[in-house]
Amino acid sequence: MDFLTYANDLLTSSLGPFGPLIAVGGLGLFMILLTIPMLMNQPEDPLKKLKRNASVVKEKKSEKERLRQGGRNEQLERFANFLEPQNVDELSAIQLKLTQAGYQSKDAVRVFHVAQLALGLIGLVAGVLYVTVLNADQNFDTQQLIMYTIGPGGVGYMLPKYWVTRRVGERQAQITAGFPDSLDMMLVCVEAGQSLDQSIIRVAKELRASYPALADEFEIVSYEMKAGKDKATVLRDMGTRCGVQDVSSFVTVLIQSQTFGTSIADALRVYAGEMRDKRVMRAEEAANKLPTKMTLATMMLTVPPLLIILVGPSVHGITQMGQ
């Protein structure tokens, strides 16, 4: 009991009234950082080892499963229960958002949660160091202590989500900008006698230099069609991955054209014309917004110098008369 009292007095005298709380938090953080390497080096599950060393009869099936899971990180595989949401709807929503941001890796969800955890811990450590080392002689109240310690951790935890949201917006803007050109190219290919599959492959190659995000989507569509997947399902998946209304409408037009047996060239010609008109309208809208956005900057850069020029001599004259 005397030892605890002595430790409490020592922490209070060195770190302030919140010294015991800071010590407990630092100890907990140290235990977490100490546990992570131990978890990373845990032995392999015997059941997984038994499955990997299966008999020759199941070797072909195991090979297919290995190819299906190829590219996954085995270290992250061990912590799948901790790094992936157990709710199917929540997992699907995160996968869709990461796919729309361009991260189509099989471990994208796990890497996303690892980044959140790592940046959160780094921010928490930085906050604790700021309070205990850089400003050890300053007394913080409870609100300031929480803000300086937990605040950086919260910012680090939310930083990956902000980055993914920003990437989704940039990628959707790139797809929207390049989609009318892709329709024109696809129309030329179809009218030249190529099938829809061949035209998609050709458009993907031509768009690679200028619009890589849209080229990736068309390339995925071509690969899935080559693999024998249903064309309507492939096109719907493309609309879902892009998250752009123009692409979803285009997918609907192609599916309806295929269902009712109408000419794909006619459908592409009409829809490409609409997309060109829509791009012109977006450009006109941006041009009409420009004067409004420039008003504040114009006032800030024009009015103060004008006032100085007009009022400055008068003020100078009045001060000279007063002297």
The residue that leads in pLDDT, 77 or 218, is: 218
For the cut 50, the answer to whether the pLDDT of residue 125 exceeds it is: yes
Q: What is the pLDDT of residues 294-303, one digit of tens each?
A: 887 788 888 8
Tell me the pTM.
Answer: 0.66
> What pLDDT score was predicted for residue 168?
92
For the cut 60, the answer to whether the pLDDT of residue 141 exceeds it is: yes
62-73 CB burial, b ≥16 within 10 A, e <16: eeeeeeeeeeee
Give 72's pLDDT tier (boundaries 50, 70, 90): low
Average pLDDT, the chain: 79
For the cut 70, the answer to whether the pLDDT of residue 287 exceeds it is: yes
The Cα–Cα gap between 162 and 153 comes to 14
Chain centroid offset of residue 137 CA: 40
Give 146's pLDDT tier (boundaries 50, 70, 90): confident
**pLDDT over 70 percentage in the chain:** 71
Give 162's pLDDT tier (boundaries 50, 70, 90): very high
> What pLDDT score was predicted for residue 68?
45
Q: What is the pLDDT of residues 49-64, one digit of tens each?
A: 666 665 544 554 444 4
Q: What is the pLDDT of residues 201-216, one digit of tens each?
A: 999 999 888 899 999 9
